[in-house]
A and B are shown apart, each in its own frame.
Chain A
C-alpha cells in the first residue's frame, strides 16, 4: 500500500485532490455561514448529501484508479501511450535513460543538437524546420 502510493503517485493524484478541496471548502462555508437556517432540516440533509456523494465517489475512484495504475507501473514494464503493443517499442525507463545519457553527453561535448523525444525541442534543430517542411509527406504529396 505504502509502496504503491509513493511520493510520485501522490503528486499525480493531487489533480483530483483540488476538486475535493473545493467541495470541502463549500461544505465548511455552508456549515459556518448557514445562510438558510430558517428552512427545514430535510433540505439541509439534501444539501450536504449532494456535496458528500460526489466527494466520496471521487475519493474512492481516485484511490482505486491510483492503485491500479501505480500498481501496474511497479509490476510491469511501462511504455508511452499507444506504444505497448509495438514490436520495437522502448520502455519509458529506457527512453528516459537515453535522454539523460544524451544530456550528459551534450554537456561534455557540446552535442550534435539532435532532438530527443520527451525533451524540449532543440532550438538549433528547429531552424530549418519551417511549417511547410514539417507538414509530413501529406503536404508534399497531397498538394495537388
Chain B
C-alpha cells in the first residue's frame, strides 16, 4: 500500500515537471536566444536584447540579464534576512529570562539557533553579495553581461529550493522536525546516532538544501572568474581593475576551492546517516574528521563573506571622503593574501579538541599572520578619511560604522588566535560577540552601505534620508549594545548555544536583547524605507546623484546610469514634464 502510494506520488511529480516544461516552452521561445557559441553573453553584442524581455512575472522567471538576476538575489537575500532576523528575535526573547519561559522548549530554541546561523550565512550573506556583484561587475568592467548568463540564472534558481529544504523542518509536515545541529553540524550529533532526535529526516533535508546552495555558489563563482578574466573591456587591465571586482575575484577563487569540499563532506554525512557508512563514526574516520573537513570549508567561508563587503567599503568610502582610496594596491595585494592564508587557519576553530599541540601551534602562527592584511585595509580606510572632505551621507555612515565595528570584531578575533586565550574563551559568548561584530557589524553594514549608495542607480529614485539615518543609528547602537554585552558574557564564562543560563547572567542577556530590539526596529525602518522609496521615492534628477564628478571620483556604473537616463529622457514623447539637472521643471524636448 505504501509502495503504491509512493509510486503515485512519483507519477504525479513527473506529470507536474512535464507540465512545468510545457508551460515554459509555451511562454518562452528558446530559439530567440543566440546560442552561447555564437557569442551570447560574450564580448560584443550578445544577441539577447532587453527589448526581448517578456512582461510581468515571466520576465523574472526567465531572465538571464545580469541586472535582473542581481535584483533577484537581492530580493531573495532580503527575505532570508527577515526570516533569519525574526528567528533570532525569538531567541533573544527567550534569553531575557534564565529559564525557558518564553519559547517553552529548549528544543525549539536549538532549532532556531541552527536555522538562524545557516540562513544568515548561506541564504543571506552569500546571496546579498551576489546581488551586488551580478548587478555591478559587468557594468564596472565594461562587460556585455556575465560570461555564462544562463548558468547565472540556474545558479540563482537553485537557491529557493535550497531555502525551502533548509527550513523544511519548520513547515507543518508530519514526522519532520527542524535540524538542531547548529550551523557547524558537528558529528556524532549530526550523524543522527545516539538517543537524540537528530536522525530525523528534517536534518537530511537541511543537508540537501545546504548542498544546493553550495552548488549554486560554485556555479556563480566559476561565472565570475570567467567574466572577470575574459569579459573585461580592453582598457580594464589588471592595473585598472576596481577593488570590488578584485574582492569578488578572490572570493570566487575561495568558493571554488571551499564549497566543493563542503559538498563532499555533506554527501559523506548523508551517507553516514542513511547508508551505514562510517566516515565520521568513531570506528571509521572519527568525529574529528568532520571538523577538519567542515572548517577547511568553514574558515574560507568567513572570508568569502567578508572580502566583498570590504571591497564595497573600499569602493564607496573614498567617494564620500573626497579623495582616492589610499594605498589602492596595498588593499588589492592584502585581499589576495587573505585569500591564500584563509586556507591555512582552519584548525584554530579546533584548538580545544585535543589535536597535536604542534599542529595547533602552526595554525596559531598563520592565524596571527592573516591579521596583518586585514589590519592593513583598516589603516587604508582610516587614512583615506584622514584630512578628507567627508560627507556623512547614509552610505558613508555605514562605511564608517563598518570600520568601527570591524576593528572591535577584528581585535577580539586576534586574541582568539592565541591558543591559551582560546582555551579559556572557547565556546563562550565571547566568540559569539566576536563573530557577530564581523557578520552583523561589518558585513551587513557594508551591505547596507552598498544598498543605499546604489539605490538611486538601481531604482532611479531616492531613499528617504531621515529614515535611512535613523536606521543607521539604531543599528550602530543596537549592534554595539548587543554584541559587546555578548563579549562581556563570554568573559564571565557564559557558554554559547544554551537556551537557559545561570541567573547571574540575566542582566547582560537582557541588555543584549534590548540591543537586538533596536536592531529589529532599525530593520523594520530599512524595509519600509526601501519598499516605499522604490515605489514612490523622489526621482533622481541627475546622472551623477552623488556629485562625484566634482571631485573626479565618478565611476563607470554611474556613467552607464547617466547614459540610461539620457536614453529614457530622449524616449519620452516630449509632453512629459521632467526635472533637469538643475532641479527646474522643463520639457523633455527642450533638452
- Quick check: is B282 within 8 A (CB to CB) of the other chain? no
Q: Judge whether B361 and A61 touch: CB under 8 Å.
A: no
In the complex with contacts A15-B337, A44-B358, A78-B239, A115-B541 CB distance below 8 A: no
A-contact 0/1 string along B23-56, CB 8 Å cutoff: 0000000000000000000000000000000000
State the interface size on chain A (CB cutoff 8 A).
Answer: 71
User: Which of chain A's residues 112-144 have a Cβ closer than 8 Å to chain B?
Assistant: 115, 117-122, 125-126, 129, 131, 134-139, 141-144
Q: Judge whether B344 and A50 touch: CB under 8 Å.
A: yes
Q: Judge whether B334 and A15 touch: CB under 8 Å.
A: yes
Q: Judge whether B556 and A86 touch: CB under 8 Å.
A: yes
Could you tell me the distance between the alpha carbons of A117 and B240 in the complex, rounded to whole angstroms?
Answer: 18
Q: Judge whether A142 and B463 touch: CB under 8 Å.
A: yes
Q: Judge whether A135 and B391 touch: CB under 8 Å.
A: yes
Across the interface, which residues of B come within 8 angstroms of A80, CB to CB?
324, 328, 552
State the interface size on chain B (CB cutoff 8 A).
Answer: 79
Across the interface, which residues of B come within 8 angstroms of A126, CB to CB?
389
Q: Judge whether B373 and A85 touch: CB under 8 Å.
A: no
Across the interface, which residues of B come within 8 angstroms of A111, CB to CB?
none
Q: How many A-B residue pairs have CB under 8 A?
A: 236
Across the interface, which residues of B come within 8 angstroms of A39, CB to CB?
356, 358
A-contact 0/1 string along B413-451, CB 8 Å cutoff: 000000000000000000000000000000000000000
Across the interface, which residues of B come within 8 angstroms of A5, CB to CB?
none
A-contact 0/1 string along B297-324, CB 8 Å cutoff: 0000000000000000001000000111
Across the interface, which residues of A come within 8 angstroms of B323, CB to CB?
117-121
Q: Judge whether A138 and B365 touch: CB under 8 Å.
A: no
Smallest Cβ-Cβ distance to B392: which chain A residue = A131
Across the interface, which residues of B come within 8 angstroms of A101, CB to CB?
none
- Quick check: is B368 within 8 A (CB to CB) of the other chain? yes
B50 → A minimal CB distance (Å): 19
Smallest Cβ-Cβ distance to A87: which chain B residue = B559
In the complex with contacts A50-B344, A62-B333, A117-B324 CB distance below 8 A: yes
Cβ-neighbour of A47 out of B324, B332, B362, B390 (below 8 A): B362
In the complex with contacts A90-B552, A134-B392, A61-B235 CB distance below 8 A: no
Across the interface, which residues of B come within 8 angstroms of A104, CB to CB?
none
User: Which of chain B's residues 329-351 have a Cβ closer than 8 Å to chain A?
Assistant: 329-330, 332-334, 336-337, 339-341, 343-344
User: Which of chain B's residues 248-297 have a Cβ closer than 8 Å to chain A?
Assistant: none
**Residue of B361, B370, B553 with most chain A CB atoms under a 10 A cut-off:** B361
Could you tell me the distance between the alpha carbons of A54 and B346 in the complex, rounded to whole angstroms?
Answer: 12
**Residue of B239, B243, B533, B555 with most chain A CB atoms under a 10 A cut-off:** B239
Q: Judge whether B365 and A13 touch: CB under 8 Å.
A: no
- Among B162-170, B217-225, B512-520, B542-550, the stretch in contact with A: B542-550
Could you tell me the distance between the alpha carbons of A53 and B393 in the complex, rounded to whole angstroms?
Answer: 44
Across the interface, which residues of B come within 8 angstroms of A53, CB to CB?
344
User: Which of chain B's residues 532-546 have a Cβ closer than 8 Å to chain A?
Assistant: 533, 537-538, 540-542, 545-546
In the complex with contacts A43-B356, A121-B388, A22-B365 CB distance below 8 A: yes
In the complex with contacts A43-B358, A85-B236, A86-B559, A121-B336 CB distance below 8 A: no
Q: Judge whether A143 and B465 touch: CB under 8 Å.
A: yes
In the complex with contacts A19-B373, A84-B240, A120-B387, A139-B464 CB distance below 8 A: no
Q: Judge whether A51 and B333 touch: CB under 8 Å.
A: no
Across the interface, which residues of B come within 8 angstroms of A51, CB to CB?
344, 362, 365-366
User: Which of chain A's residues 21-65 have a Cβ closer than 8 Å to chain B?
Assistant: 22-23, 26, 30, 35-36, 39, 43-44, 46-48, 50-51, 53-54, 57-58, 61-62, 65
A-contact 0/1 string along B444-471, CB 8 Å cutoff: 0000000000001000001111100000
Smallest Cβ-Cβ distance to A73: which chain B residue = B239
B360 → A minimal CB distance (Å): 9
Could you tell me the distance between the alpha carbons of A17 and B361 in the complex, rounded to whole angstroms?
Answer: 21
Smallest Cβ-Cβ distance to A49: which chain B residue = B362
Could you tell me the distance between the alpha carbons of A23 and B370 in the complex, rounded to whole angstroms?
Answer: 10
Cβ-neighbour of A19 out of B361, B370, B388 (below 8 A): B370
Could you tell me the distance between the alpha carbons of A117 and B238 in the complex, rounded to whole angstroms?
Answer: 23
Q: Judge whether A117 and B556 touch: CB under 8 Å.
A: no
Q: Judge whether A141 and B462 touch: CB under 8 Å.
A: yes
Across the interface, which residues of B come within 8 angstroms of A122, CB to CB?
389
Could you tell me the distance between the alpha carbons of A16 and B359 in the complex, rounded to whole angstroms?
Answer: 23
Could you tell me the distance between the alpha carbons of A44 and B358 in the complex, rounded to whole angstroms?
Answer: 7
Could you tell me the distance between the alpha carbons of A68 and B239 in the complex, rounded to whole angstroms?
Answer: 8
Q: Judge whether A12 and B340 touch: CB under 8 Å.
A: no
Could you tell me the distance between the alpha carbons of A71 and B240 in the complex, rounded to whole angstroms?
Answer: 12
A120 → B minimal CB distance (Å): 5
**Residue of A70, A78, A79, A117 with most chain B CB atoms under a 10 A cut-off:** A117
- Quick check: is B554 within 8 A (CB to CB) of the other chain? yes
In the complex with contacts A85-B236, A86-B559, A115-B389 CB distance below 8 A: yes
Across the interface, which residues of B come within 8 angstroms of A58, CB to CB?
337, 340-341
Q: Judge whether B329 and A12 touch: CB under 8 Å.
A: yes
B557 → A minimal CB distance (Å): 7
User: Which of chain B's residues 393-417 have a Cβ closer than 8 Å to chain A?
Assistant: 393-394
Could you tell me the distance between the alpha carbons of A125 and B323 in the complex, rounded to whole angstroms?
Answer: 14
Given contacts A19-B337, A81-B242, 11 further A-B contacts (CB under 8 A): A16-B334, A23-B365, A26-B361, A58-B341, A62-B336, A69-B238, A80-B324, A80-B552, A84-B233, A141-B538, A144-B538
Ordered by A's residue number, 10 sampled pairs between the chains whose C-beta atoms are within 8 Å are A22-B368, A30-B361, A30-B362, A65-B332, A65-B333, A72-B238, A80-B324, A87-B559, A136-B393, A143-B464
Residues of B within 8 A of A (CB): 140-142, 233, 235-244, 315, 322-325, 328-330, 332-334, 336-337, 339-341, 343-344, 356-359, 361-363, 365-366, 368-370, 372-373, 376, 387-394, 456, 462-466, 533, 537-538, 540-542, 545-547, 551-557, 559, 583
Q: Which 3 A-B pairs have the closest CB atoms?
A: A82-B555, A142-B462, A54-B344
